[in-house]
Structure 1
Amino acid sequence: MLDDTDRRLLRQLQNDPVATVQALAARAGVSARLAARRFDRMRGEGILRGQRARIDWRAMGYSVEVSLRFTLEKTAPDAFDSFIAAAREVPEVVEIQTFLGRVDVRLGVIARTLPHYHEIYRSRIVTLPHIADIESLMHVATLKTAERLPL
């Protein structure tokens, strides 16, 4: 699995994901060549799955976030698949999660304003297939988001 060198390199990568391999290696106390080999190995093992840009949707004018919890009608064999396929087509749906239990699916939805959210809800959300029940939770604040692993 991971040794101390791997963990040091990953901690540095979490601290500065756009740093060069040379800079990450120096901060972790290893050679750039060793760091490059370790990062290649971790990519090959699926530990590192690439890097991506993180865009703050609030800075782009989206000020409303709603969590919608759905219970689906399960009479159709393809209820989950068709619901999820349709939900993926809604641009304002930024997250889809499935569950075992009373709630089947949760959608994270963003909107610019409350009227914009109501428009999305009426025209795109309630028209999704196989809905038995919807519970809406208006997001108020994020108190903690763990984006870093405790390495």
Structure 2
Amino acid sequence: MRIDDSDRRLLRQLMAAPGASTAELAARAGMTEATCWRKLDRLRNAGILRGQQAVIDWRALGWQVEVSLRITLDKTNPRAFDEFIAAARAVPEVLEIQSFLGRVDVRLNVIARDMGHYQQIYRDRILTLPHISDLEALMHLSDIKSEESLPL
């Protein structure tokens, strides 16, 4: 699906004010409410606009530690990747799972309340994940740039 300038304008306004009503988005994007509704519906049907979600700041809820784990899997088992991913998904403190080509196969983003809690998660949940051949932990210090919006 091709998007035009008014679609881009609407998407920019939606990223800037995700909780805005259709009427507010229409006014901000310079279009009628009916046009805005049709465009949003078309963008959803095309799979461009996949939905809206609440973004919760886990730090504000008392989770203070974030660790990025770079994991290399034992590739001698053809089911290693699938079995590892299934087990990693079951760890509630794993917020993000990414796969890569190269020496590192998977990256897990893990949060914990404090270092003692992280050590418990690491020993009881991470080290028991199947097929790990190498693991590197990177302690997160700060976000320099974390952008959710697209350059439309």
Asked if these proteins are the same fold (TM beyond 0.5), I'd say yes
What do the CA deviations read for 1:68-91 (whole angstroms, capped 9, x no partner)? 000100111100000000000100
Distance in 2 separating the partners of 1:21 and 1:10:
12
Distance in 2 separating the partners of 1:129 and 1:41:
43
Superposition RMSD on alpha carbons, in Å?
0.5
1:12 aligns with 2:13: yes
Alignment-derived partner of residue 133 in structure 2: 132
Alignment of 1:2-151 (within 5 A): 2-151=3-152
- Name the SS for the 1:68 alignment partner: strand
- Give the superposition deviation at 1:128: 0.3
Distance in 1 separating the partners of 2:68 and 2:51:
28
- Name the SS for the 1:59 alignment partner: helix
Residue identity (%): 64
- Normalising by structure 1, we get a TM-score of 0.99
Aligned residue type for 1:110: I
- Name the SS for the 2:59 alignment partner: coil
Aligned residue type for 1:85: A
- Give the superposition deviation at 1:27: 1.0
Aligned residue type for 2:99: T
Aligned residue type for 2:84: F
Aligned residue type for 1:28: A
Q: Number of residues paired by the alignment?
A: 151
Distance in 1 separating the partners of 2:28 and 2:60:
32
- Name the SS for the 1:12 alignment partner: helix
- Name the SS for the 1:51 alignment partner: coil
Unaligned runs of 5+ in 1: none
Moved over 6 A (4+): none
Distance in 2 separating the partners of 1:76 and 1:150:
42
- Normalising by structure 2, we get a TM-score of 0.98
- Give the superposition deviation at 1:2: 1.0
Distance in 1 separating the partners of 2:128 and 2:28:
52
- Name the SS for the 2:91 alignment partner: coil
Distance in 2 separating the partners of 1:87 and 1:109:
10
Distance in 2 separating the partners of 1:29 and 1:69:
46
Unaligned runs of 5+ in 2: none
